[in-house]
Amino acid sequence: LEVSLAELLKAFGIGAAAVTLGVEWVDWLARRLSLRRGARGPLKEVLFFPSPSACVEHLYAPAGALSCSCPLPHGVDTPFARLLGHLLSAGATLDLCVFSFSNASLSRAVLLLHSRGVAVRVITDREYMTIVGSQIGTLRRAGICVRHELSNAVHMHHKFVLVDGKKLLTGSLNWTVTAVQSNKENVLVTEDPDLVGPYQEEFCRLWEASDPTSQNQSDCHQGTAGSQ
Amino acid sequence: LEVSLAELLKAFGIGAAAVTLGVEWVDWLARRLSLRRGARGPLKEVLFFPSPSACVEHLYAPAGALSCSCPLPHGVDTPFARLLGHLLSAGATLDLCVFSFSNASLSRAVLLLHSRGVAVRVITDREYMTIVGSQIGTLRRAGICVRHELSNAVHMHHKFVLVDGKKLLTGSLNWTVTAVQSNKENVLVTEDPDLVGPYQEEFCRLWEASDPTSQNQSDCHQGTAGSQ
């Protein structure tokens, strides 16, 4: 078979056109998909408190939502309901670093996650471990790992949570009833890895620094033993 | 001129190849540029406390930086120095919404901004207006507008600042010496409009709601009159 240079070039041109058009189309498709992701971007949300009271039973037990007959308004998307929803979205881990924890509704959420097999770690302030209404004892008795600042001189004043190591909730809100229902408070929610990353590192740093055995062993057994 | 269908198709193929290759190259260039913009993105930073002590004189008076002979380490970029730097970057407005404010170094920064003509507005907690060491009286005597929660029942527990309406600093840190030098605290810094916007709206909402005249007039005169 004899082929001239001109014909070879033309054939090459057609082949190149077909390939680049194909590449272009795949590329266009990929960009469409990535643009759609980009426009949505990582989750970011701001919640302001006090939160109006509303029934949140459906968040704890989605199946039993219709059966709740409490007198609170139903089906209202309050800041507290959104906070609870973010917490209950945890599927693998919940790292909680909060100064004071006396809110029973939030305690119930943490216990529910623990019963579902989510690995829960709690760091709290030393002084606020055992104050009246503290939920720390309840968490420990359920077998949840709790650590506190070892020094007497300083406060562990953070109020942040990491959900599955990829969603951060941080702000002014302590886990008390007053904070949720009365105070002016804010919680910023983000899945931006540039923000989540430093908080996850800080959590791990504090977790190790608050290890009561000082040998970097888990104090889970101490927790289940019922020590408060 | 007589052209066969086959030749026409081939010529069309070559032309299409040239055009798509050109488009591909321009597109590649555009994506390179936009990716570079995306990577830089809006400012985001996380500061953790306690902050090591270091000299911050150069931040108040850049010209006199070399002349400071205090015994603190010099030229160290601490979390507190970065916080101060963000505050002192204000050129037009500083909206401060903080539960307790007794840190003299931060008060000095706010007074400096006020003297430079930056419009400063402060919202603080009612109970923490006049506690020992509170800087609120000093700010008011200098003519800075300060408002507080009017209700006795709730705490204004926020700890956030808006710099020029486009940079947000929020977290657990109250403006006290203990918070900066001793406690475990966090401050998230961002220029993401999706996060800054809601906080700016919250500030304006609280500012109006805390107006003591209830007629949405500024209480600046009240402030300059020296009432604490």
Q: What's residue B203's pLDDT?
A: 98
Residue of A21, A46, A192 with shortest CB distance to B199: A46
B170/A157 Cβ within 8 A:
no
**Distance between CA atoms of A228 and A224, rounded to whole angstroms?**
10
pLDDT at residue A35 is higher than 80: no
Domain ranges of chain A: 1-41, 42-224
DSSP codes, chain B: ----HHHHHHHHHHHHHHHHHHHHHHHHHHHHHHHHHHHH-S-EEEEEESPPP---HHHH-GGGGGG---SS-SS---HHHHHHHHHHT-SSEEEEEES-B--HHHHHHHHHHHHTT-EEEEEE-STTSSSTT-SHHHHHHTT-EEEE-S-SSS-B--EEEEETTTEEEEES--BSHHHHHTSBEEEEEE--HHHHHHHHHHHHHHHHHT-TTSSS---HHHHHTT--
Whether residue A34 lies within 8 A of chain B, CB to CB, comes out as: no
Half-sphere exposure of A99 (CA within 13 A, CB side): 21
**Annotation marks residue A159 as catalytic:** yes
Whether residue B17 lies within 8 A of chain A, CB to CB, comes out as: yes
pLDDT at residue A28 is higher than 60: yes
Mean pLDDT of A130-135: 84
Please give the share of chain A, as a percent, with pLDDT higher than 70: 86
Is the distance from CB of B120 to CB of B94 less than 8 angstroms?
yes
Sign of the C-alpha dihedral, residues A104, A109, A115, A119? negative
Core vs surface per residue A185-212: b (16+ CB within 10 A) or e = bbbbbbbbeebbebbbebbeebbeebee
Q: What six digits make up the tokens of A73?
A: 């308004």
Mark the ranges of chain B whose per-residue pLDDT is less than 50: 36-37, 216-228
Is the distance from CB of A65 to CB of A57 less than 8 angstroms?
yes
Please determine, for the modelled complex, whether the ipTM score is greater than 0.90.
no
The β-bridge partners of B186 are B48
Which of A184, A196, A207 to mutate against chain B (most B CBs within 10 Å)? A184
Per residue in A71-128, pLDDT tens? 999 989 999 999 999 999 999 999 999 999 999 999 999 999 999 999 999 999 988 7
**Distance between CA atoms of B15 and A212, rounded to whole angstroms?**
74
Q: What's residue A220's pLDDT?
A: 40
Residue of A17, A44, A48 with shortest CB distance to B194: A44
Tell me which of A164, A192, A211, A219 is the catalytic residue: A164
Angle at A30 between CA A25 and CA A31, to 5 degrees: 100
CATH number of the domain located at residue range(s) B42-224 in this protein = 3.30.870.10
**What angle separates helix B79-88 from helix B104-115, to the nearest 10 degrees?**
20
